[in-house]
Structure 1
Amino acid sequence: MIRIGVDLGGTKTEVAAIDSNGQTRYSVREATPDQYESKIRLIAKLVRSTEESLQSDSLSVGIGHPGSINPATGLIRNSNSAALNGRALDKDLATALNRPVRCANDANCFALSEAVDGAGQGAKSVFGVILGTGVGGGLVLNNCLHEGHGLLGGEWGHTSLPWPSVDEAPGPPCKCGLRGCIESWISGPALTADHQRRSGEALTGEQILDRARAGDPAAEASLDRFQDRLARGLATIVNIVDPEVIVLGGGLSNIPGLAEKTGQRLPGYVFSDQVTTRIVRNTHGDSSGVRGAAWLWPLT
């Protein structure tokens, strides 16, 4: 059985056909247009070209997208791709493709991908984390995505950083309108901003990492603060959900040793005498989004 996944990103849109063994049978990427109607047309075109290449039609289609669908209105909200907000993405794509589609937040798709056949494979509970331009997450229980009653499950990036020190309160402003959100502390831009506040140097995340490798004390301190804040944020997830595995994704997950060092800090914050949750790096990288979108349809 072949499923089609679509990863609708801000800059690129990827479509991939995944077979029941998790093998990619076909994939294609194109730049994402700005206009909403153009996004719909692009997805329809890429899905049809995928089916033509496989000599199949009417395959199941899952869509990973930024933001979430408001179950009360059926419209997209909280998307950093502003053209999606207020739109009935699932219904419009179903009309364009002449079949039902399934949609989910892109971080949820990442979590589902890593739970089904990635770094969390075989675990009964997996929390997937996106550490990039933004901070997102998704919870998968027994290979089923848990989106919550209002489809807000996994939005840990917009909870407050736990146990803030005096100099961390009230925290930096967040794009959501509040201050001190986890996203405002441990996203890529947040790492850069934190380093600049402390050192006066405006460096990219990659430059901070390079400086730390070379033994620069300011850069090492910035990474240490980042790791400690990540551990605090994830400790709250462990205290509430107690997942078997936490999978790190996004560009910052590539920081060498991040999963191991964060795991070592967890016991200092988790309300338990023993922490059994494993923190691991992802398996599928930037392909997890499109793979998870394909897995939105049943595995059997």
Structure 2
Amino acid sequence: MRLGVDFGGTKIEGALLDSKGEILVRRRVPNPGDYLSAVRAVADLTARIEQEAGARAVSVGVGIPGSLSPATGLVRNANSTWLNGKPFLEDLKAALARPVRVENDANCFALSEAVDGAAAHGRVVFGVIVGTGCGGGVVVERKVVEGRNGIGGEWGHTPLPWARADETTERHWCGRYGCLEQWISGSGFKRWAGMGAHEADEAARAGDPKARVLLDLLADRIARGLAVVMDILDPDVIVFGGGVSNIESLYPSVRGKLLAHVFSDVVTTDLVKNMHGDSSGVRGAAWLFDAGGDVSEYMA
């Protein structure tokens, strides 16, 4: 058995999985928003889950909103900024007394869907999270591709491609301007559209022409962003997660716009909605050791 933890900005969720990927116990607690308290919360949640299951996990995988620097081992790029600069992996190893692996939460999502979810039929998978924020993850043959600098899949912090004169933004929380996250995330959509994405979806389905135009523009921006990924990675499957992924009309709309931007005469890549929903984060975290090599390398 293996245990996965989805370390979110407002909640921490844990799940114990058996060897077939079935969730045996799943529990959620609030994220205290304080570093030392959060480390303790992960340890307490792990102990509670294992007590309920009557079993101890051999390893714990944790998905976080950010990544570990390969130079320092410290957390960086987390929008929960109080995590940045902290030795989260080492402190979790000490608190849990077993092998631990920490990975970006979008990578965990992509891994979950690539192992036994909506993208399981693909060899090369790009996972897209479009929720409050925007992220991406790359999985090849059921292994997360972190990259040399540990930033593989950081799609949300690339600029909006082929930006028009009116597509300007203020400075993003990451310190850059024009990040894709500011255009296609749920919060980004609300900023420029003046309404929430789900509100626009409901209005569009009721026949509101303005809402339809707004969603069409969102689909165009998503397609422009994905076209660059496809020109570089050419994935078999692109799987969507996050709240915005529940807008069903986006899938045919994005697909219809891709060919205008991709450097190809055909686009046969599958665009699919996630299968595991809110469970993808903990499931992908739990699969990290299967996708990341020998457990012994994380025991030191």
- Please list, as runs of the form range in 1=range in 2, the aligned pairs for 1:159-178 lying within 5 A after superposition: 159-168=158-167, 170-178=168-176
Q: Deviations over 1:69-92 (max 9, x none)?
A: 111011001111122111111100
Aligned to 1:32: 31
Query: Shift of residue 172 of structure 1?
Result: 4.5
Amino acid at match of 1:163: W
- Partner Cα separation in structure 2 for residue 52 and residue 177 of structure 1: 43
- Partner Cα separation in structure 2 for residue 107 and residue 22 of structure 1: 19
**Count of aligned pairs between the two proteins:** 292
Aligned to 1:247: 239
Amino acid at match of 1:157: G
Query: 1:293 pairs with 285, 288, 292, which one?
Result: 285
**What is the TM-score normalised by the length of structure 2?**
0.94
- Partner Cα separation in structure 2 for residue 188 and residue 116 of structure 1: 27
- Judge conservation of contact 1:94–1:101 (CA < 8 Å) in 2: yes
- Partner Cα separation in structure 1 for residue 137 and residue 57 of structure 2: 28
Query: Secondary structure of 2:228's match?
Result: helix
Amino acid at match of 2:133: G
Aligned to 2:212: 220
Aligned to 2:255: 263
Aligned to 1:208: 200
Amino acid at match of 2:181: E
- Judge conservation of contact 1:172–1:185 (CA < 8 Å) in 2: no
Structure 1 residue runs of 5 or longer lacking an equivalent are 197-202
- Partner Cα separation in structure 2 for residue 280 and residue 58 of structure 1: 32
Aligned to 1:182: 180
Amino acid at match of 1:118: G
- Partner Cα separation in structure 1 for residue 37 and residue 170 of structure 2: 36
Asked whether 1:141 is paired with 2:133, we answer no
Bigger CA drift: 135-144 or 173-182?
A: 173-182
Query: Shift of residue 24 of structure 1?
Result: 0.5
Query: Secondary structure of 2:51's match?
Result: helix
Query: Shift of residue 206 of structure 1?
Result: 2.3
- Please list, as runs of the form range in 1=range in 2, the aligned pairs for 1:20-169 lying within 5 A after superposition: 20-168=19-167
- Partner Cα separation in structure 1 for residue 40 and residue 18 of structure 2: 25
- Partner Cα separation in structure 2 for residue 215 and residue 183 of structure 1: 28
Query: Secondary structure of 1:25's match?
Result: strand
Query: Secondary structure of 2:166's match?
Result: helix
Aligned to 2:222: 230
Query: Secondary structure of 1:140's match?
Result: strand
Query: Shift of residue 233 of structure 1?
Result: 0.4
Query: Shift of residue 114 of structure 1?
Result: 0.4
User: Would you identify which runs of 4 or more consecutive aligned residues in structure 1 move more than 4 Å?
Assistant: none
Query: Shift of residue 47 of structure 1?
Result: 1.0
Query: Secondary structure of 1:103's match?
Result: strand
Q: Deviations over 1:170-209 (max 9, x none)?
A: 444322222221111111111112213xxxxxx2222222
- Partner Cα separation in structure 2 for residue 249 and residue 293 of structure 1: 15
- Judge conservation of contact 1:137–1:156 (CA < 8 Å) in 2: yes
Bigger CA drift: 40-49 or 124-133?
A: 40-49
Structure 2 residue runs of 5 or longer lacking an equivalent are 294-300
Aligned to 1:199: none
- Partner Cα separation in structure 2 for residue 34 and residue 13 of structure 1: 10
- Judge conservation of contact 2:198–2:244 (CA < 8 Å) in 1: no
Q: Deviations over 1:262-294 (max 9, x none)?
A: 122111110011112111100011110000000
Query: 2:266 pairs with 267, 271, 274, which one?
Result: 274
Q: Percent identity?
A: 51
Query: Secondary structure of 1:104's match?
Result: strand
Amino acid at match of 2:220: D
Amino acid at match of 2:134: V
Query: Shift of residue 57 of structure 1?
Result: 2.4
**What is the TM-score normalised by the length of structure 1?**
0.94
- Judge conservation of contact 1:71–1:151 (CA < 8 Å) in 2: yes
- Partner Cα separation in structure 2 for residue 18 and residue 129 of structure 1: 24
Change (3 A) 1:22 1:57: closer
